Structure 1
Amino acid sequence: MSYAITVRLHRPFGETVEQVRAALKDEGFGVLTEIDVQATLREKLGETMEDYLILGACNPPLAHRALGVDRQIGLLLPCNVVVRTDGDDTVVEALDPQVMVSVSDRPGLKPVADEAARRLVAALEKLES
């Protein structure tokens, strides 16, 4: 089972990050957290790596529905979206919300995960146009 929804784009990292934020917003997601992995590893370990940003995206109505089914599901929220460089490309990957269903084994989460997946796929497809 693949756990990611992925698009590969031939455009600059910074431009892609802004487009990802806009596409997520269009689909009802806000970015709650942002982790600059490249900067963190450089600062804490002196290590260098490619641009790598983790955005914690949340759609409040969907999060509310999921928490209504299973309070522990907060351990798997928000939906992480990674933007990273790979050679001359920028890769955008979102955690497939179906992972919530498989990890929790709560069938009531499936409709919420289906809706979240539909919205994430739509956001990533906007990046390709």
Structure 2
Amino acid sequence: MSYYFTKIVKASYDEAVAKVTAELKVEGFGILTEIDVRETLKKKLNVDFRRYIILGACNPPSAYKALTAENKIGTMLPCNVIVQEISDGQVEVTAIDPLASMQAVENPALKEIASDISNKLKTVIGRV
């Protein structure tokens, strides 16, 4: 089982980030964090890196269900979605598969929640 869903799209980096953010919103996700990996690596290590952002996406109703089912599940939240520039005009969009990451947690209540979120993230990736 792969731990992510991915798709390469023909778009600018900025267009892809905007599209991903909009599609996440359609599926009920908000963005809690944005980590600009390129900027961070430049500041911390003084190295050049491709344009790469990690979006910490959260679906509040599902997060609430998961947190009430398993009080330590916050260690695995939010769902990360990355957008990275591969070349001019080509961007890769990748999301975590919650079903894969939740396998380590032995709580049957989480499987249904993870399945729902997994389907929503697949939809987002499919529509980008």
Cα distance in structure 2, aligned partners of 1:30 and 1:9: 22
Displacement of 1:47: 0.6
Displacement of 1:110: 0.5
Contact kept in structure 2, 1:101 and 1:107, CA below 8 Å: no
Q: How does 1:89-104 map to 2 (within 5 A)?
A: 89-104=90-105
Identity over aligned pairs, percent? 43
Q: Which residue of 2 aligns with 1:41?
A: 41
Kindly tell me the number of residue pairs found equivalent between the two proteins. 127
Displacement of 1:76: 0.4
Q: Which residue of 1 aligns with 2:120?
A: 119
TM-score using structure 2 length: 0.96
Q: Deviations over 1:18-51 (max 9, x none)?
A: 0000000000000000000000000111011100
Question: Is residue 72 of structure 1 aligned with residue 72 of structure 2?
Answer: yes
Unaligned runs of 5+ residues in structure 1 are none
Q: Which residue of 2 aligns with 1:26?
A: 26
Displacement of 1:109: 0.4
Unaligned runs of 5+ residues in structure 2 are none
TM-score using structure 1 length: 0.95
Q: CA RMSD in A?
A: 0.9
| Amino acid aligned to 2:115 | D
The SS at the match of 1:119 is: helix
Displacement of 1:69: 1.1
Task: Give 4+ residue runs of structure 1 displaced > 2 Å after superposition.
Answer: none
Cα distance in structure 1, aligned partners of 2:110 and 2:15: 34
Higher helix share: 1
